Amino acid sequence: MEKKEYKKIVDKYTPDEPRFRNALIAFIIGGFMGVLGNFLVDFYSSTFDLSSKDASVFMIITLVFLGCFLTCLGFFDKWVGFAKCGLIIPITGFAHAMMSAALEYRKEGLVTGIGSNMFKLAGSVIIFGVVSAYIFGLLRLLVIGG
| 60 vs 108: CA distance, rounded Å | 30
| 146 vs 144: CA distance, rounded Å | 6
Q: Residue 106: left if φ>0, alpha if ψ -120 to 50, beta else—which one? A: alpha
Nearest to 87 by CA among 97, 79, 99, 75: 79
CB of 48 to another protein, least distance (A): 15
Q: Is 137 in the site for another protein (CB under 8 A)?
A: yes
Tell which positions 7-66 bind another protein, by CB under 8 A.
17, 19, 22-23, 25-42, 52, 56-57, 59-61, 63-65
# of chain residues touching another protein (CB under 8 A):
75
CB of 4 to another protein, least distance (A): 18
* CA distances from residue 127 to 31, 66, 72 in whole angstroms, order as listed: 27, 24, 26
CB of 26 to another protein, least distance (A): 4
Tell which positions 105-134 bind another protein, by CB under 8 A.
106-107, 114, 118, 121-122, 124-126, 128-130, 132-134
Positive or negative torsion for Cα 65, 66, 69, 71: negative
Tell which positions 65-104 bind another protein, by CB under 8 A.
65, 68-69, 72-74, 84-86, 88-91, 93-95, 97-99, 101-104
